[in-house]
Amino acid sequence: MAITHSLARNATTNATLGWAFVGFVILIAAVGLLMAPLLGGVLALVAAGILVVPAVLRRDWRVMLPWPLGLVVAVGVTARTFGFAPEVTGYVAISSVALAAVVELDSFTDVEMSRRFAVLFAVMTTIAFQSWWTIAGYYSDQVFGTSFIHSQAELQWDLVAVMVVSLVMGGIFLWYFDRIEHVGSRHRPVVPEETS
């Protein structure tokens, strides 16, 4: 945990790792868009966009989400795009993207959320993302002849499963962020270095 703790407290290291994960997610998006599962590539593009929002809005390349969150997003999107255990990795990918969006709201805006509310808000955001994903899958089935949606019962169980996965992921991140305060958070903002 000591190395994780030191990586979390260095703004440049956190940003470098964060940008490495963004680059990896963009690469996965390109591969996903060229392969058959087009929706995996679209999800990766959305994930990359969400990961770069703090740096773009603050106009400082060092303002990034904590690197462990970028890692979880990259792993989830990669596993989803390449179809590794699709029953679970799709939920992890959607949940990690939603969690990243909620962490950005909490850390980089005037919105103040308690940690527990942030987890519940992430669960609700995950369900909303999963609903959009379901709509995209439905239209993909209609237009491109894919078979993402098999039955209404399966669709309902998907929503239950994504809620459970998002609660578990939210609990893990609640535990983690209570122990390590990352740079870029409300309590440890990235302060530009003074130039003389």
Instruction: List, as one string, the DSSP characters of 11-58.
Output: HHHHHHHHHHHHHHHHHHHHHHHHSS-HHHHHHHHHHHHHHHHHHHHH
CB 133 within 8 A of CB 94: yes
Written as six digits, the tokens of 1 are: 């945990």
CB 108 within 8 A of CB 58: yes
CB 72 within 8 A of CB 94: no
Domain ranges of the chain: 2-179
Summarised one tens digit per residue, pLDDT across range 19-28 is 999 999 999 9
Helices (H), 35-146: 38-58, 67-82, 86-108, 115-144
Please list the pLDDT of the chain residue by residue as tens digits (196 residues): 455 555 566 888 889 999 999 999 999 999 988 886 677 888 899 999 999 999 999 899 998 888 888 999 999 999 988 888 877 888 888 888 888 888 888 888 888 888 788 888 888 888 888 888 888 888 888 888 888 788 888 888 888 888 888 888 888 878 877 776 655 555 555 544 445 5
Q: Quick one: DSSP state of residue 187?
A: S
**Angle, helices 152-179/86-108, rounded to nearest 10 degrees:** 50
